[in-house]
């Protein structure tokens, strides 16, 4: 006789796997569209008078909290992938498959509950017996679990705040440290009138990791192209609306729109003494345009910091990377930051997954694009004597120190 509990667990696990795959595919579409904010997606659907897509419901769909309705799913796909009928039909079938697993899991759960009810209150287990009070015990257990979850969330938030404090403290210690009575390298860089630095390097080289550390040490803002898009679109700026129109049509955003966002950002007073630029330029045309943009303000990029790693290391880093489904800012790596519990996030115990754009095939394509389009940008800065190259192999702190030392030596 089949084990009903085992069948229930198997059905629930099947539904969880299908829902996770469904959510992963949504994440890929979202990234391919340029990661527009949930509010921008909802506003675009509302403007077209179609199915209502609230920001909270979109968040639940992307985080895999529950399977959205079919109408909601198809409208979300329309906003992310455009009006292609074939794509929507593929997603209709994908949704039906997840829904089938959901119904199977629910049916097994109802059967199991029915069996438990028969067992708990029966001629052998009359009301008042130990078996009859099991429902009350389960209710109490659920309340205890909810209370524990609330406490865990408070602990996690406290840990995040503590981590921020430790980062700030470590940064200050580095700035205050002395080496044989000399002024620390980071402090010497701060004495410059301005430090305008462009971050370059292949995918997975660590630009996104090093950017925030270098920004704090150099005391200049980090300007990331992706963040410019998010802030302008979510803020409903004029140029953000222009970008959203292209993205909603599934088209590439023209360089002039990206450069327009950069022009506006560089007009802010916090960039007066410099900046770190990440995500732009990605090709020679954009590099020339950035030079022209800065020249119009009687300025220029002082240096391009090239974080250099080889093709094999790119594959090791990206193929081994795992993202937390609960919070995409929580990262793990099967080699360099192995989670304590296999498949679970160390921070929140959420499930870890491999992004579809971190597969070998996609990484190979990204490497080829970088070699063809972006490496000539690195060569351009080298020919102009503005290139500072460091190895991207090592721990985060070692690479940060390496970058600061190299920039100090470059500027003299």
| CATH code of residue 194 | 3.40.50.300
Specify the pLDDT at position 7: 66
To the query of whether residue 282 is one of the catalytic residues in this protein, the response is yes
Q: Are residues 10 and 63 in the same domain?
A: yes
Domain assignment present for residue 261? The answer is no
In a domain, residue 227? The reply is no
Average pLDDT over every residue of 8-25? 76
- The tokens for 48 are 């077209």
360 is catalytic: no
**Residue 195, domain member (yes or no):** yes
* 366 is annotated as an active-site residue: yes
Instruction: Quote the pLDDT of residue 128.
Output: 47
Q: Is residue 307 part of a domain?
A: yes
Q: Is the dihedral angle over the CA atoms 207, 367, 36, 29 positive or is it negative?
A: negative
Chain segment 149-202, per-residue pLDDT in tens: 655 555 555 555 555 555 555 555 555 543 443 447 778 888 888 999 999 999
Q: One of 78, 196, 265, 321 is an active-site residue; which one?
A: 321
Tell whether 171 is covered by a domain.
no
* pLDDT reported for residue 320: 86
Q: Which domain holds residue 343?
A: 177-221+268-411
Yes or no: say if 8 and 108 are a contact pair by the CB < 8 Å rule. Answer: yes
Residues 115, 144 share a domain: no
Q: What is the pLDDT of residues 348-393, one digit of tens each?
A: 888 988 887 778 888 888 899 999 999 999 999 999 999 999 999 9
Do 325 and 387 lie in one domain? The reply is: yes
Q: Give the bridge partners for 389, in sequence order.
A: 306
Contact 399, 350 (CB under 8 A): no
Q: Looking at the 3D structure of the chain, how many domains does it have?
A: 3
Q: Does one domain contain both 36 and 106? A: yes
How far lies 287's CA from each of 251, 276, 280, 378, in Å?
Answer: 22, 15, 8, 10
pLDDT of residue 264: 93
Q: What is the pLDDT of residues 297-342, one digit of tens each?
A: 889 999 999 999 999 999 888 888 888 888 776 888 888 788 888 8
Residue 20 has pLDDT above 90, yes or no: no
In a domain, 244, yes or no: no
Range with the largest mean pLDDT of 204-208, 287-291, 325-329: 287-291
Q: Which residues, at least 6 apart from 5, have a Cβ–Cβ distance to it below 8 Å?
A: 112
- How many angstroms separate the CA atoms of 285 and 254, rounded? 12
Write 205-208 long-range contacts (CB < 8 A, 24+).
Answer: 205/307, 205/308, 205/309, 205/314, 205/392, 206/307, 206/309, 206/392, 206/396, 206/399, 207/278, 207/307, 208/278
Based on the fold, state whether residues 126 and 143 are members of the same structural domain. Answer: no
Q: Residue 181's pLDDT is what?
A: 38
Residues 59 and 70 in one domain: yes
36 and 116 together in one domain = yes
Of the candidates 207, 265, 322, 325, the residue annotated as catalytic is 207
Q: Pick the catalytic residue from 92, 188, 282, 386.
A: 282
CA 204 to CA 276: how far, in whole Å? 18
Structure tokens at 233: 């679109």
The active-site residue, picked from 241, 366, 380, 402, is 366
Q: Which of 159-173, 202-216, 274-288 has the highest mean pLDDT?
A: 274-288
User: What does the pLDDT read at residue 130?
Assistant: 46
The answer for residues whose C-beta is within 8 angstroms of residue 355's C-beta and 6 or more apart is 24, 27, 28, 31, 321, 323
Q: Which of 65, 92, 116, 355 is catalytic?
A: 355
392 contacts 205 by C-beta, under 8 angstroms: yes
d(CA 245, CA 56): 23
Does 199 share its domain with 347?
Answer: yes
pLDDT of residue 332: 85
**Catalytic annotation on 300?**
no
Percent of the chain with pLDDT over 90: 27
In a domain, 257, yes or no: no
Answer yes or no: is 239 within a domain: no
Instruction: Say if CB 223 and CB 301 are below 8 A apart.
Output: no
Same domain, 127 and 138: no
Which tokens sit at 331? Answer: 């990262």
| pLDDT mean across residues, the chain | 80
Examine the domain organization and report whether 10 and 71 are in the same domain.
yes
Per the listing, tokens 């403290």 go with 169
Three-state DSSP at 3 gives: coil
Statement to judge: residues 296 and 403 lie in one domain: yes
Residue 196's SS3 state is: strand
Residues 161 and 116 in one domain: no
Catalytic residue flag (residue 138)? no
| 323: β partners | 331, 353
């Amino acid at each position: 006789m089949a084990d009903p509990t085992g069948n229930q667990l198997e059905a629930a696990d099947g539904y969880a796997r299908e829902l996770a795959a469904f959510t992963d595919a949504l994440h890929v579409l979202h990234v391919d569209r340029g990661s527009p904010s949930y509010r921008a997606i909802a506003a675009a659907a509302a403007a077209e008078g179609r199915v209502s897509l609230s920001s909270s419901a979109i968040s639940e769909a992307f985080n895999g909290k529950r399977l959205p309705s079919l109408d909601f799913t198809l409208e979300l796909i329309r906003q992310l992938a455009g009006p292609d009928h074939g794509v929507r039909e593929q997603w209709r079938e994908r949704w039906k498959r997840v829904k089938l697993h959901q119904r199977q899991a629910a049916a097994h759960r109802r059967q199991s509950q029915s069996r438990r009810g028969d067992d708990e209150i029966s001629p052998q287990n009359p009301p008042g017996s130990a078996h009859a009070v099991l429902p009350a015990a389960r209710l109490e257990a659920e309340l205890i679990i909810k209370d524990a979850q609330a406490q865990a969330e408070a602990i996690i938030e406290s840990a995040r705040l503590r981590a921020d404090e430790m980062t700030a403290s470590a940064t200050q210690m580095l700035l205050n440290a002395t080496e044989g009575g000399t002024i620390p390298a980071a402090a010497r860089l701060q004495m410059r009138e301005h430090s305008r630095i462009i971050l370059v390097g292949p995918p997975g080289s660590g630009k996104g990791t090093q950017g925030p550390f270098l920004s704090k040490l150099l005391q200049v803002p980090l300007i990331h192209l992706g963040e410019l898009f998010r802030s302008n679109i979510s803020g409903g700026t004029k140029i953000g609306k222009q970008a959203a129109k292209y993205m909603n049509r599934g088209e590439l955003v023209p360089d002039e729109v990206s450069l327009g966002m950069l022009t506006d950002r560089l007009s802010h007073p916090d960039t007066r003494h410099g900046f770190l630029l990440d995500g732009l330029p990605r090709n020679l045309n954009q590099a020339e345009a950035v030079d022209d943009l800065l020249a119009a303000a009687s300025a220029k990029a002082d240096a391009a910091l090239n974080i250099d790693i080889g093709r094999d290391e790119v594959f090791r880093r990206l193929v081994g990377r795992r993202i937390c489904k609960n919070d995409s800012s929580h990262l793990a790596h099967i080699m360099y930051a192995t989670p304590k519990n296999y498949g679970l996030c160390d921070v929140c115990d959420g499930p870890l997954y491999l992004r579809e754009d971190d597969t070998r095939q996609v990484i190979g394509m990204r490497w080829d694009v970088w070699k063809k389009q972006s490496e000539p940008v690195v060569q351009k800065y080298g020919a102009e004597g503005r290139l500072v190259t460091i190895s991207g192999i090592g721990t985060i702190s070692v690479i940060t120190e390496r970058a600061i030392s190299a920039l100090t030596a470059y500027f003299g």
